[in-house]
Structure 1
């Protein structure tokens, strides 16, 4: 809703850093001076991180990560072209591997990014304990390492407005926004962008995916790893693909789950337009499922009738917000989740059905903003905008946005306008990308085997993204969950999880392509 660098060991990185410190020019590609400067800065920061390591301690209460999880920080430059300039600390979590006697030794650190951009991976440290399954199996031999990317959580947090204002509810969401409403949204987007600039100043230009990828290499060095093993989901797949393209010689294991299309011309304006159509298809999937179970929910016997039931509720909360907080915008945000996972389908159908029977409680619980999450939610949205707006040039002409969204809305009315309002700050962003999106791609043989996981009906990252990434990363393997729209397929499909474990524990890939049967549709009341 996101060129070859230095290929060497830590010793080579330290040598580069020492060379720079004495003022002797390091070897460089003279045709790309800006990229070479950033590469040198990364080498300096990585060498310093390798020397410092991570001072692991008990996690602070705010992280909600009890022992045996540990927490620490890693120092990274704000701007890699100025490695001795301003720095920030990234927060990191870890649960050490627990090898079982006779079943292998520790394999190293597995670093996780859950996507966003703007999501924190700190909770990954406890996936094995909390979620079990394949995660517990992996934690026997891998340290599970999560982190909060720059701007997220306690990693020099970015905020663009008062969190209470960000989560203030209820809010309208007109099906056909008027000229007056569009002007209001434009003013809000411009004000929001201005707030980001005021809060961050010169830092705002340095939330790019490329700089996040360079942060990963510094984190790798701080963990004492010669090569990075990385698990990225959603936007995390784009981050991982950019890392692999910048540092192919630093990759050990790379898992990309629910894969972003990295084509530069799609980043990020066009990819959001393509998401609209994909979410419309998933919305239809949910409506067909609800219609199939009309006897349980009474929402309609076909998808059109279910849509009318939803529209009636949308109109009702527009006139009288449920619980005083759930208006049309909150309703749409809650039901967008049906596009991410089938596991929420029953709960959402039940809430809609109960509301229509005069019992709004379940819908209020589902869709009302949670004050306890206000700071985290506002922070996540701020980093989302900061990264996507900084990564690429967005249209600055409102007429382009208006024209494209109107066309999208004609075929994908469920989310088109709300998606535009979320991304519109990029039309007024106070910084301009210095370059276009980074090239994603490697030559044959540059990377070890890479494992891609994807569902064919994924809405947030349409399946075509996995095919394009496989084309750009020669030698990678793609495991497909057929007929599935679940976003983030690992950890819930036994077939997928077997391929994941074989790859991460033994380095075995299934060849170019493998297909797993999609998980069954949920039952009413699940």
Structure 2
């Protein structure tokens, strides 16, 4: 999912000492239910799930309240003409008149005429744990890829529940979270595994201690219900939504729960929505895909040996990588960068093509004797308290949502068997990924059954966009969502693997995304596009 593991994957190796506190900023108690709301509840279809009843009540309430748009707080980094506001939602949709939480939202108006306006386009960048609040900046920064869409739509971002300004959760003290160097994710033996298991269990305990009231409700279905309340608060009858990475799963669940509330839905870089994949198997599948894309990058580095001087073949570059890991394990670089921090930095390359050159350059500079270049790139900034708090929060939400969405294996032998087997062929990310997700094995709060994503009456055609060699969300996920959402269209970027395809210059894709958002038109059949330009040093 889109919130890169650069900050997450290196963190769980040091859960450390937990500080017991309940972080519940922004929690309110709702006023007594109005007669109108109670009548509304009585009129809803008998047999509907209690949470869906609650979502309808909350949306009705939000539609009446609207959003009180104001200039954004100065420390949010969102300058005029971007505006910010709040939307109130139930903590528990089964109890819509109970405790409420506030969600932060922001917007920038469409750049075209009033006649050109088609409503609001709401965005989620993934994670789980990613903030969408920077989305309106695409307009103020005059991003050419979004100029046509911005004429027609207000760009709306939001912090999902638990994220950022929206009743943020926490599992560990942020300074403890970023402490480095951490234990090498690749275990030398059973003793290392026991240490990592203890750290993961301590992290799960910390989540329960610091954010326990929120945890049972940190699910994708609840975030989808929040999304519908935001839609209502915006005054929109139907939702226009762009979801990237985990945002595609959020969109898929929304489309299943609220099919007749969808107007346009773009799913970019797709999480496999199968119940069998959410979330344990999806993470194992990631390990395989990351190795594929890592090998692509190693090959590219070798092709540019004249620039980087790291080896003329993929095997030679990989040998150099293994030597770097071994050296950092024996003597952490700059005292801060061990194997865990190296993986946290280097995994940006298989995630995004835009990171191919910077990662290779930092490595090349290190090999040429400039140690500080790699320390600056890979080591945590222990003085950045705000950034570290945001990283810790993002990791907490990632863990909370994935652990709550589905039932995870509780038996360590299952984890050990699966990850030992995968590591033999796909060593780049496997153990790092395993330790990051292992808190779900001892999770204290309820683990739910995932929504069965499917086409329901009223769902309009959906646009799916995916690269075949995506590491974070393997291509099979796009095929699965296309199969489940009847009438959808799939745009495939062949022989490419950057995560987040709609943000890359490729006219074959960009023009079709624009056309869909502006007119609702899709091609008569699925489309294959040539890859975007390969990065150059």
TM-score bracket, normalised by the shorter chain, equals: over 0.9
61, 65, 68: which is aligned to 2:81? Answer: 68
The answer to whether the 8 A contact 1:63-1:122 is kept is no
Following TM superposition, by how much is the alpha carbon of 1:347 offset from its aligned partner in structure 2, in angstroms?
A: 1.5
TM-score (norm 2): 0.91
Give the alignment partner of residue 410 of structure 2, picking from 396, 404, 423: 396
Structure 1 portions without partners, runs of 5+: 3-15
Which residue pairs with 1:451 in the alignment? 463
- In the other structure, the counterpart of 1:10 is none
Residue 38 (1) aligns with residue 26 (2): no
- Partner of 1:375, secondary structure, is helix
Distance 1:215 1:17, change over 3 A: farther
Q: How does 1:183-202 map to 2 (within 5 A)?
A: 183-202=194-213
Match of 1:124, SS state, is coil
CA distance in 1, matches of 2:125, 2:266: 12
Q: Paired residue for 2:11?
A: none
The alpha-carbon deviation at position 61 of structure 1 amounts to 2.0
Alignment-derived partner of residue 341 in structure 1:
352
Out of 395, 415, 419, the position equivalent to 2:429 is 415
- Measure, in 2, the Cα distance between the counterparts of 1:22 and 1:128: 42
Equivalenced residue count is 503
How far did residue 295 of structure 1 move? 1.8
What's the counterpart of residue 127 of structure 2? 116
Distance 2:41 2:336 in 1: 62
* 2:108 alignment partner in structure 1: 95
Matching of residue 253 in structure 1 with residue 264 in structure 2: yes
Report SS of the residue matched to 1:265: coil
Residue of structure 1 equivalent to 2:302: 291
2-structure distance, mates of 1:100, 1:510: 28
325, 333, 340: which is aligned to 2:336? 325
How far apart in 2 are the matches of 1:17 and 1:463? 48
Q: Out of 372-381 and 168-177, give the one that drifted further.
A: 168-177
Task: Tell me by how many angstroms 1:40 deviates.
Answer: 1.0
Match for residue 157 of structure 2 among 146, 155, 161: 146
Q: Which moved more, 1:418-427 or 1:168-177?
A: 168-177
The alpha-carbon deviation at position 509 of structure 1 amounts to 1.1
Partner residue in 2 for 1:359: 370
1:12 — aligned with what?
none
Q: In the alignment, is the contact (CA less than 8 A) between 1:73 and 1:89 conserved in 2?
A: yes
1:20 deviation in Å?
Answer: 5.7
Q: Deviations over 1:219-258 (max 9, x none)?
A: 0000000011110000000000000000100000101000
Match of 1:478, SS? strand
Q: For 1:50, which of 50, 60, 63 is the aligned residue?
A: 63
Partner residue of 1:105 out of 104, 116, 141: 116
Equivalent of residue 309 in structure 1, options 315, 320, 332: 320
Aligned to 1:379: 393
The 2-side partners of 1:461 and 1:479 are apart by: 15
Q: Distance in 1 between matches of 2:511 and 2:375?
A: 39
Task: Indicate the structure whose relative CO is greater, using CA pairs within 8 Å and at least 6 residues apart.
Answer: 2
Alignment TM-score, normalising by the size of structure 1: 0.93
The 1-side partners of 2:356 and 2:95 are apart by: 49
Cα deviation, 1:137-156, whole Å, max 9, x if unaligned, reads 21111000000000000100
1:220 counterpart residue number: 231
1:26 corresponds to 2:75 = no
2:536 paired residue number: 523
In structure 2, relative to structure 1, the CA distance for the partners of 1:188 and 1:176 (3 Å cut) is closer
In the alignment, the residues of structure 2 paired with residue 343 and residue 219 of structure 1 have an alpha-carbon distance, to the nearest angstrom, of 32
